[in-house]
Amino acid sequence: MAAMPRWKPDARARLIVAAVELFAENGYENTTVVEIAERAALTKSTFFRHFPDKREVLFGGDAVSTVLADAIEAMPAGYSARDVIAAALDAVGRETFTPETREFSARRRAVIAASTELREREALKGLSLTAAMSDGLTRRGVPRLAARISAEFGALALDLAYERWSAPECEDVFAIVARRALDEVYAARAEC
């Protein structure tokens, strides 16, 4: 008789799937870490090796900020702040908001929309993404105010694109949706 493996791979991914399922079924507030771990066939201590609390299951640490910052840094010199932000949004589409994550993203959005605490955390996450873009642009030599404005436009475009892309009726890849949103944000600026 073959020995049973002591662990199954992809513990982090299994915890995320289990948490989103339970949050959708029972509500965020009514779901415990123990329930998430049990649904994923893991232990509570394994949960805490991957996440500091149940809220962070939905927010992925600094993954998106890192993708944005790396993409901004990797752009060659000579591009406008808008072009650099557009390239960073493209990178997020390639590395984070892929066709495979669309369904999860839609479920995640619904869970967050149902909880005041999670909406507040999502707003804080948005501020950290804006800061990552602004800091990256400043390191490229963009003046602080211009970097901040460009980052705010980028964050607004990112938010609009995420909302649109994760909707069930959207068939475009994230980069296309994000570029369209960025164009709309810049066009609206002219109307102010």
Band of pLDDT at residue 8, cut at 50, 70 and 90: low
Between vectors from CA 63 to CA 62 and to CA 66, what angle results, nearest 5°? 80
Band of pLDDT at residue 1, cut at 50, 70 and 90: very low
Do residues 16 and 51 share a domain?
yes
- Residue 6 domain-assigned? no
CB 166 within 8 A of CB 106: yes
pLDDT at 2: 44
pTM: 0.86
CB 154 within 8 A of CB 58: no
Do residues 133 and 169 share a domain?
yes
pLDDT at 4: 41
- Residue 52 domain-assigned? yes
CA distances, 150 to each of 15, 31, 67 (Å)? 36, 39, 17
Tally of domains in the chain: 2
pLDDT digits (tens, 9 = 90+) for 106-147: 889 999 999 999 999 999 999 999 999 999 999 999 999 999
Do residues 137 and 183 share a domain?
yes
In terms of residue numbers, what domain contains 44?
11-57
- Residue 138 domain-assigned? yes
Across all residues in the chain, what is the average pLDDT? Answer: 91
